[in-house]
Structure 1
């Protein structure tokens, strides 16, 4: 098991933790849920992990059939890491853990990465609003492109271009997106400043901004004591 420790317990929970319970393992899965990544991109998105530890986690997850490597043909010569079907089956667990963890009283001082932001949007998606939010949207965040598709009852996000012309597009940098999600600036103010650009008809642009903000509503304040 490449040095991984085992609980030695036949329970499914323990056996699952034997695979993804090591430090950083589940965060690697999280950062691959939206699509393949190169090693350097994974390392850049996981603040605090050393290259050696990340290499070991990728090796462990590959041996257990959670992650697979894919080499792009020449002239690209790039090695990508992506989830297998077994790895993608962890998505409900990751989203639920994210919802659960976000309710803790305090948060570390670190910054949310783009994968965490988009997965938070997916975790907070309300299927009852799908009819209103229905559409295909494309996000350009720094040098990366993502597409979001809202169907009748679900939401899909992928690190890729939209397969068909999107109804609305959003172009910005990660710092601006963080500020919008933290309610430090409104989308309208970001547009006025030139740090955010929206394309598409007005109704589609409104649906897209509503979708992005829905999962980052300010936490309700406790009622005043009498």
Structure 2
């Protein structure tokens, strides 16, 4: 049987294999990191470029077009007075969350001390930390996380919406104050939340079950 034509400008593994098909769609350099950023919700091109240090404008534009072509992301304009153009994940694009979580789990042992050339963004800790918190608390809730490098918040129990966001959020169920080293240790499950509190490495504030669970109370 003749092979179907390849999509213009794209290379394919040309293998009848689910993993190969997935890599055809999302295996290019930067693609999954763009998805990581879009898991926070709609983002402007300038915001994506700022939080993906090292990517060129041409490559970023090309990868965004690829994500749109694969129906993994969409582009729209915000209503006035903003009228800014934003990119956001489609429902199929949001299904990549477990993929990014699995990659983070696999790569976590290599994440010890930052290299001199490493860029750091606070929200890059969001997905691995979210996985640890959801292992302790299965219900919905919002957690504010304050690091020296910046602030972000986590959305627990979301159904198809953003799983994290940058900056502050109103009325979080729990607020965590810690440094990046402690955050990384919690994300790698080398340290439990109660242990971090007992050692003075983590401050937990808030009322209710979620704050109690994270604080070890």
Q: Structure 1 length normalisation: TM-score?
A: 0.67
Is 1:168–1:204's contact at 8 Å kept on the other side of the alignment? yes
In 2 relative to 1, CA 106–117 (structure 1 residues): closer, same or farther, beyond 3 Å? Answer: closer
Structure 2 equivalent of residue 122 of structure 1: 130
In 2 relative to 1, CA 138–124 (structure 1 residues): closer, same or farther, beyond 3 Å? Answer: closer
In 2 relative to 1, CA 13–189 (structure 1 residues): closer, same or farther, beyond 3 Å? Answer: closer
In 2 relative to 1, CA 79–202 (structure 1 residues): closer, same or farther, beyond 3 Å? Answer: same
In 2 relative to 1, CA 201–86 (structure 1 residues): closer, same or farther, beyond 3 Å? Answer: closer
In 2 relative to 1, CA 190–95 (structure 1 residues): closer, same or farther, beyond 3 Å? Answer: closer
Is 2:126–2:154's contact at 8 Å kept on the other side of the alignment? no
Is 2:122–2:152's contact at 8 Å kept on the other side of the alignment? no
Would you say how many aligned residue pairs link Structure 1 and Structure 2?
190
State how far apart, in whole Å, the 1-side matches of 2:94 and 2:24 are: 17
Task: Choose which of 80, 85, 92 in structure 1 pairs with 2:91.
Answer: 85
Task: Choose which of 19, 27, 33 in structure 1 pairs with 2:33.
Answer: 27
Structure 2 equivalent of residue 169 of structure 1: 175
Alpha-carbon RMSD across the aligned residues, in angstroms, is 3.5
Structure 2 equivalent of residue 100 of structure 1: 106
Task: Choose which of 73, 78, 81 in structure 2 pairs with 1:75.
Answer: 81
State how far apart, in whole Å, the 2-side matches of 1:120 and 1:29 are: 15
State how far apart, in whole Å, the 1-side matches of 2:164 and 2:111 are: 30
Structure 2 equivalent of residue 181 of structure 1: 183
Task: Choose which of 23, 34, 44 in structure 2 pairs with 1:17.
Answer: 23
State how far apart, in whole Å, the 1-side matches of 2:90 and 2:182 are: 33
Q: Structure 2 length normalisation: TM-score?
A: 0.69
Is 1:34–1:115's contact at 8 Å kept on the other side of the alignment? no
State how far apart, in whole Å, the 2-side matches of 1:73 and 1:124 are: 36
Shift of 1:202: 9.0
State how far apart, in whole Å, the 1-side matches of 2:12 and 2:137 are: 42
- Secondary structure of the equivalent of 1:159? strand
Is 1:99–1:123's contact at 8 Å kept on the other side of the alignment? no
State how far apart, in whole Å, the 1-side matches of 2:165 and 2:56 are: 24
Q: How does 1:56-67 map to 2 (within 5 A)?
A: 56-67=62-73
State how far apart, in whole Å, the 1-side matches of 2:151 and 2:113 are: 27
